[in-house]
Amino acid sequence: MNVIRPEGSVFNTPAPAKCQSLSFSVRLRNSINKDLKSRLRPKLKSTRVLIFLTIKALIIIILINFYMVWLLSKIGPNSSQPADGKIVQRQILPDKILACVKNDDEFSGPVSHRGIGPNCKLYPCVEENGLFIETNIPDRTIGYAGTFVHRDKNVKKYTMIKPGGRTWASGCIVSDEYKFVYIHVLKSGGTATKEFLRKSLCGENDNDCTKVDPRVIRPFSCRHAVNIDGYFVFSFVRNPFSRMYSMYSMMDGFPVNPDLRGRVTENISFQDFVMTEPKSRKKFTKMHPSHYYNQTDFLFSRNSCPSFDFLGRVEHFDDDMRTILEHLNATKMIAYLDKLGGVIHPANTWGANKKKSIGGDLRMEYRAQELRHRVATVYSKDFDLLGYDAHEVPQ
């Protein structure tokens, strides 16, 4: 039986061209979307992982910071206040470490007569000590110079701002025989000290100590030397006013023009040298800019933790050296010092010769207040921590 469909019935009418076109575009779009999803899915997953790891890292950093704040608040051998009230304290460190220096009247004996200061210990600074600290600090000066410092393991972990190299020229000197470390502070008797150490342990003719066992004496990296367990670390410092004049005098030995050796300072005044920025002094001299650093840069960490156990003073060079040797029980070195008549002569004489040319009185070169102010400002940390008076120029 034949079924007759009405004309125009949807059963026998073909789909319009427009519908066919729309159907194709839908299929194409779906295909593209599917392809994009398959391509982007791994990237989206990687992005989510990266965000998660970043958040996790930030949380860890925050937790570490909280832990470090707590740890630094606990640093020191004793968090309690000394009961005898005879400890002079001053907060010098941003991480709440406090320098404690005993009063001079508690330190007696022959060493005291040579100008050696009292012992010093580091204690944690806690809020309840605030009033005591303010009451017992006469001025801003701590006076580490000429002082024995007892560093605990928390203080020893810090490294000085400007650690020296590992050569005889500017590095630290280590002796395993006597268990000491010497820190070379530039323009503070370093050459004379090293020459004495070398000659006393290696003999006067062994310039580089190549004929003795390296364990007797050797140059070593300061960054690592100061933390050797059980070794006594010492150095020497000097009055910043004197040190600045020594820098000026040393230009004669390191002229830009070799023909001017010994005569550089004839054309450059001390005032010009002092008032010139360190980086600009290279037009005067070949002397390395490290000679102009604060002495404390070689001796303290950025948070002002000391990297030494004793600081001698150039002004008391012979006596302080003997104190160090007696502390080390360095019999061989003491014998050599006695052989020299107890006097260690300077290794270079540029400063001494220049000082003679002005009549031997350094105060004559510092008559201008702006010079005194300049040195006191540039080397304020040296004055503050080493115990020198920023208002008094030595003779």
296 and 161 assigned to the same domain = yes
pLDDT in tens, 263-297: 677 778 889 989 999 888 888 788 888 899 999 99
106, 190: one domain: no
- Amino acid 359: pLDDT: 62
**In a shared domain, residues 112 and 219:** no
DSSP summary character for residue 212:
S
Give the residue-averaged pLDDT of 347-370. Answer: 75
As separate numbers, helices (DSSP H) first and strands (DSSP E) second, the chain gives 13, 9
Quickly list DSSP for 139-165. Answer: SS----TT-EEE--HHHHT---SS---
pLDDT at 54: 86
The two structure tokens encoding residue 385:
């921590």
Quick one: 163 and 119 in the same domain?
no
Integer Cα distance of 238 and 316 in angstroms: 9
| DSSP letters spanning 230-263 | T-EEEEEE--HHHHHHHHHHHGGGSBSSGGGTTT
- DSSP states along 89-138: EEE--TTSEEEEEE-GGG--SHHHHTT---EEEEEE--GGGHHHHHHH--
SS3 label, residue 306: strand
- Read off the pLDDT of each residue in 307-328 and give the average, rounded to a whole number: 94
Query: Considering the entire predicted model, what is its pTM?
Result: 0.67
Q: Nearest CA to 121 among 94, 142, 102?
A: 102
Q: Is residue 8 part of a domain?
A: no
Residue 28, domain member (yes or no) = no
Say how many C-beta atoms besides its own lie within 10 A of residue 207's C-beta: 13
Is residue 227 helix, strand or coil? coil
208 and 118: one domain? no
User: Which helix or strand (DSSP H or E) is residue 386 part of?
Assistant: helix 380-386
Rg of the chain over Cα atoms, rounded to whole angstroms, equals 35
Residue 121 shares a structural domain with residue 264: no
Task: Judge contact between 238 and 291, C-beta under 8 A.
Answer: no
Place of tokens 């017992």: 136
Domain end: 138, 163, 197, which one? 138
The phi and psi torsions of 103 (rounded to 5 degrees) equal -65, 150
Whether residues 228 and 112 share a domain: the answer is no
| Nearest one of 156, 159, 153, 194 to 174, comparing CA atoms | 194
For all residues of the chain together, what is the average pLDDT? 75
Residue 174 confidence (pLDDT) above 80: yes
For residue 2, tell me if it sits in a domain.
no
Same domain, 198 and 241: yes
Question: Is residue 221 left, alpha or beta, with left meaning phi > 0 and alpha meaning psi from -120 to 50?
Answer: beta
Q: Which domain holds residue 278?
A: 155-386
Among 138, 166, 199, where does a domain finish? 138
The answer to whether residue 42 is domain-embedded is no
Q: What mean pLDDT is predicted for residues 57-86? A: 58
Residues 115 and 175 placed together within one structural domain of the fold: no
Please indicate, yes or no, if residue 224 is contained in any of the structural domains: yes
Contact residues for 281 (Cβ-Cβ < 8 A; gap 6+): 273, 287, 289, 292
Domain end (from 108, 138, 168)? 138
Residue 328 or 253, more confident: 328
Which of these, 230, 192, 240, 164, lies nearest to 347 by C-alpha position?
A: 192
In a domain, 265, yes or no: yes
Does 199 map to a domain? yes
Indicate whether 67 belongs to any domain: no
Q: What is the average per-residue pLDDT within 54-60?
A: 86
DSSP state of 325: H
Q: Residues 228, 131: one domain? A: no
* DSSP code for 394: -
Query: Is the separation of the CB atoms in 288 and 280 below 8 Å?
Result: no
Q: Is 304 or 17 the better-scoring residue by pLDDT?
A: 304
Q: What is the mean pLDDT of residues 366-375?
A: 94
Q: What is the pLDDT of residue 22?
A: 54
Q: How many domains, the chain?
A: 2
CA distance 39 to 33: 10
> Cβ(228)–Cβ(303) under 8 Å?
no
Residues 184 and 266 in one domain: yes
Instruction: Answer yes or no: do 382 and 236 share one domain.
Output: yes
pLDDT band at 375 (very low <50, low <70, confident <90, very high): very high
